């Protein structure tokens, strides 16, 4: 390297050091405020580690863990990955059974400014939301999603379950919000979307990226151009970059660039019409920051009675007869929470959600 080259390199290194130092002081990233405190991070990590111990991932089918969970890069435009066998059949069936009684015509945010919900013309499926950490299985699935995305579940919206019948579809759209709406949005921008396929579909129902490009590796290991070509007459014929739903698989894609600054326009996607059978899927959107962070406060919610007589009142049926008082003052005796062992995050999380349920439902946001 000549003198000039050496000087240029030195300047580049100095510039990099200056940028890093300014980032460390919070200068460069001043627009990005992290809501994490140390406790929350520990809390999230600890629980994820519990799930991680049971869930082995591999980047090839041969090296997969017990359940055969492995990750296959599908596209780099947008960044999209198929995660094979992430859910067990039991988990899929459980999510469907929870959603089935309440699925109704899907809603989307039709007027971002007013946050009004309206029945979607773009989406003709049926859908419902499951409360975050609705039960142990929902929590387990959510934690797997946190691991897969590398984003704590506190940044995730509640899971939306969709049911598509024959000819039902979800037309082309992007999942990130308009910047104007971002100012009011909880958790800032949606950075990643995960679609969990809860059923096989006899024909159709592919998730297609009309601007996407299937990665070379994916083509090579899936029978080349012919092998990956999907077609759906009701979705315009030959599909650009489509994933076929398979029960237990997930499709993870990023809605923003790796720096989380720009929206990724390649992430435009659609749920093609189902041609035969029924398609069930679950969607979780992960945000840049905590989404409705108050639901995930890092302090355990105490589970205790406020009156010494609670236990005997509960025995006499007062929890049912006088719920207004008993459900706020005798939560332990009425069985609305449990006293958790120190560090039993699963138990603590349940208590937190029980306490929230007591306060009544919050406003739900649909897409
Ligand atoms: O069901 C699909 O394949 C697409 C669903 C979707 O686009 C969404 O939920 O945002």
Q: Quote the ligand 1 centre to 275 CA distance (angstroms).
A: 16
Ligand 1: residue of 270, 275, 280, 285 to mutate (most ligand atoms within 8 A of CB) is 270
251 touches 74 (CB < 8 A): yes
Q: What is the pLDDT of residue 25?
A: 33
Give the model's pLDDT for residue 298.
54
For the CA of 243, the closest atom of ligand 1 is 3
Residue nearest to atom 9 of ligand 1 (CA): 283
Superfamily for 38-293?
Answer: q2cbj1_9rhob like domain (2.60.120.620)
Cα distances (Å, whole numbers) of residue 236 to 77, 171, 177, 271: 21, 11, 26, 12
How many residues comprise the chain? 367
Q: Is 175 in the pocket of ligand 1 (CB under 6 A)?
A: yes
Looking at residue 234, what is its pLDDT?
97
pLDDT at residue number 355: 72
Write down the pLDDT at residue 312. 96
> Is pTM beyond 0.75 here?
no
CA of 55 to the centre of ligand 1 (A): 25
All residue ranges of the chain with pLDDT < 50 are 1-43, 109-119, 360-367
Within 43-182, strands assigned E span 70-77, 79-84, 104-105, 107-111, 116-119, 126-130, 159-164, 170-173
CA distance 34 to 297: 14
Q: Is 283 in the pocket of ligand 1 (CB under 6 A)?
A: yes
**208 Cα–ligand 1 center, Å:** 9
Structure tokens at 188: 């800032």
- pLDDT above 90 as % of the chain: 49
Among the atoms of ligand 1, which is closest to the Cα of residue 164? Answer: 1
Q: Which atom of ligand 1 is nearest to the CA of 175?
A: 10
Instruction: Give the distance, in angstroms, between the CA of residue 221 and the centroid of all CA atoms in the same chain.
Output: 28
> How many angstroms does the Cα of residue 195 sit away from the middle of ligand 1?
7
Determine the Cα–Cα distance for residues 112 and 303; give it in Å rounded to an integer. 39
Q: Domain residues of the chain, as ranges?
A: 38-293
Summarize pLDDT for 46-68 with one digit per residue, the tens: 555 555 555 556 666 655 555 67
Q: Is the beta carbon of 281 within 6 A of some atom in ligand 1?
A: yes
| 149 vs 45: CA distance, rounded Å | 13
Residue 212 is predicted with a pLDDT of 97
């Amino acid at each position: 390297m000549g003198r000039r080259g050496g000087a240029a390199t030195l300047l580049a290194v100095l510039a990099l050091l200056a940028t890093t130092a300014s980032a460390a002081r919070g200068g460069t990233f001043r627009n990005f405020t992290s809501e994490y405190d140390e406790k929350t991070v520990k809390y999230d990590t600890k629980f994820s580690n519990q799930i991680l111990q049971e869930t082995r991932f591999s980047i090839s089918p041969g090296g997969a863990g017990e359940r055969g969970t492995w990750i296959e890069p599908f596209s780099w435009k947008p960044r999209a990955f198929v995660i094979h066998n992430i859910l067990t059949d039991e988990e899929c069936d459980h999510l469907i059974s929870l959603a089935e009684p309440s699925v109704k015509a899907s809603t989307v945010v039709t007027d971002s400014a007013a946050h009004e919900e309206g029945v979607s013309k773009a989406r003709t499926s049926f859908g419902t939301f499951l409360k975050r950490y609705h039960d142990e299985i929902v929590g387990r699935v959510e934690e797997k999603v946190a691991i897969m995305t590398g984003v704590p579940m506190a940044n995730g919206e509640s899971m939306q379950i969709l049911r598509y019948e024959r000819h039902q579809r979800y037309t082309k759209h992007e999942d990130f919000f308009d910047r104007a709406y971002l100012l009011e949005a909880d958790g800032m921008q949606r950075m990643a979307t995960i679609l969990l396929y809860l059923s096989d579909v006899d024909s159709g129902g592919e998730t297609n990226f009309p601007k996407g490009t299937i990665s070379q590796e994916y083509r090579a290991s899936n029978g080349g151009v012919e092998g990956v070509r999907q077609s759906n007459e009701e979705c315009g014929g030959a599909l650009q970059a489509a994933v076929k739903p398979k029960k237990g698989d997930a499709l993870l894609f990023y809605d923003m660039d790796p720096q989380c600054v720009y929206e990724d326009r390649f992430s435009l996607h659609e749920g093609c019409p189902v041609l035969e059978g029924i398609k069930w899927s679950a969607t979780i959107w992960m945000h840049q920051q905590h989404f409705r962070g108050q639901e995930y406060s890092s302090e355990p919610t105490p589970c205790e009675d406020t009156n010494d007589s609670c236990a005997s009142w509960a025995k006499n049926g007062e929890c049912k007869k006088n719920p207004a008082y008993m459900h706020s003052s005798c939560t332990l005796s009425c069985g609305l929470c449990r006293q958790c062992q120190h560090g039993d995050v699963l138990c603590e999380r349940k208590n937190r959600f029980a306490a929230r349920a007591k306060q009544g439902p919050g406003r739900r946001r649909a897409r």
